[in-house]
Structure 1
């Protein structure tokens, strides 16, 4: 069974996309490393307002305990009050950093404040520096983390829609008689997208999630992963369920002779403490002239990506603001590429 995979972010408030167009989102600058004496935390909200006016379809925030940053759902609540049409998303939220019931209430609150514009990209973390130490800081056990993630999402959906007390008994989570919770704006709650591209993650995305937000460095791997998700969705009887194929990609438009290589390297060191040669083995990147970036992003569009979630690979807020107009200007060319393939 082949999935139609219609875009699950097309709501009454934000119906600018679908399978026939490429949508574009951008991360707002929420980490301390991007601020300066002239640009502080409040600029993250101003940046989001500017990005909406520029024409972006969605605004995104990251989530971690490792580096000083604004808390993800707090930022989205602030953006909900000052934006009107853009989707507001997490890329990716780590549910393990929060207690499941409290997180369900916070998420439902943001969904209500935004009138149904929230999307949750979620993940279980990674081995190494971004895995066990983060779980330890949150007081969450590292074993069974994928089962914990799936059960947390299932519990959230019950709480967002359930009438009366809710009981939940999984392999990891156990709750009895949770009092009626805050219900989300939309029936069923906000769409939940899964990150990750392992075979197990692809199967889980197809069986139980509303979208996919990976960052594979090879576009062919994106296409293969999406095919695996479609197969899993069909086997689970979800072949016609709304689903958004998205892409997390570090992007920079530049006329530099090296195609932005030095800028990407500086960005990798600032954010991960590693050179670009290491990071490009695990993350998608697109840099260079507008034509070069269209060609690079177009490879993913050709493999099925329909919502490009862009993290601007520039060091500070002024530099990122300078990229907004140039990035949105790429959309007609990307849609032309898509039209040529359909």
Structure 2
């Protein structure tokens, strides 16, 4: 395996959990420091307003992580973009870029139906408009974040200070999401670690890119750490890399963040030794 095919390895900060019965709310400051000390490439904060389990607010978490680290990338994975006005998101992103030294990776999506419609009702946003609102916001975000004038609200607005647009990662398993990733994203993020489904998604991504005459985004993947340890996780990660994954975000197994991060760091080391 060549060096170029080795994926970056990221981990989630302890802000929530996929399992509502076992919410993992931990010390995000200590976790960010640990991830950087162990040499991991990125740390990620999840997002939702009204979730099926307790969850911390992503911008606050990433600002805290930025304050205690110097190198590790800070991923918002993934921001439910349509829940917020685009200028508000742009202001948050620009501020995070400033306080982190431009280390943000911006993941966006339209939300997981498993959380229900509570967030959309709370935000006063019709859930049926989420895709259209996401696309409209993605059209505006680069200029808003950069501090350029944007005439989309009845009069030109300019946000200051501007900041570099972070790498944009677009999540989703349906064709419309992959099309959105081709149109707007540097990366497509899959939440399905089954190899066959992943390969099908990548094939569709390439087809859409050819149809639109655009570059094929890089591929990122959220996948679990194997309960059988680094040997198994490394083999799984190598298979994902061979399929085309260039960023692998490993999800928590439980409240022992340090053990999970050490597991992820060992996988990173073994992949780079091949």
Normalised by the length of structure 1, the TM-score is 0.72
Alignment of 1:105-254 (within 5 A): 105-127=91-113, 129-161=114-146, 163-164=148-149, 166-168=150-152, 175-186=153-164, 189-239=165-215, 243-251=217-225
Q: Which residue of 2 aligns with 1:69?
A: 55
1:81-92 alignment runs, 5 A limit: 81-92=67-78
Q: Who is 2:30 aligned against?
A: 46
**Which string of whole-angstrom CA distances, capped at 9 and with x for unpartnered residues, describes residues 84-139 of structure 1?**
11110111111233222112111111012112111111111133x42422211221
Which residue in 2 is equivalent to 1:322?
259
Cα deviation for residue 302 of structure 1 reads 1.7
Unaligned stretches of 5+ in structure 1? Answer: 1-17, 169-174, 252-285, 338-342
Are residue 22 (structure 1) and residue 7 (structure 2) matched?
A: yes
Structure showing greater Rg: 1
Find the counterpart in structure 2 of residue 56 from structure 1: 40
Aligned: 1:312 with 2:252: yes
Change in 2 beyond 3 A, CA 1:335/1:220? farther
Structure 2 distance, partners of 1:179, 1:72, is 25
2:19 alignment partner in structure 1: none
Where 1:167 maps in the other structure, the secondary structure is coil
Deviation at 1:21, TM superposition (A): 2.5
Q: 1:297 and 2:255 equivalent?
A: no
Count residues with an aligned counterpart.
266
Structure 2 residue matching 1:158: 3-state secondary structure = helix
Alignment-derived partner of residue 259 in structure 1:
none
Q: Measured at CA, do residues 297 and 163 of structure 1 come closer, stay the same or move farther in structure 2, by a change above 3 Å?
A: closer
CA shift, 1:162, in A, is: 5.1
Kept in 2: contact 1:194–1:213 (CA 8 A): yes
- Aligned residue number for residue 85 of structure 2: 99
Assess if the C-alpha contact under 8 Å between 2:193 and 2:221 holds in 1.
Answer: no
Measure the CA separation in 1 of the matches of 2:235 and 2:259.
21
Structure 2 unaligned residues grouped into runs of 5+: 17-21
C-alpha root-mean-square deviation of aligned residues, in Å? 2.2
- Scaled by the length of structure 2, the TM-score of the pair is 0.88
Following TM superposition, by how much is the alpha carbon of 1:218 offset from its aligned partner in structure 2, in angstroms?
1.6
Query: Given the alignment, which residue of 33, 37, 42 partners 2:23?
Result: 33
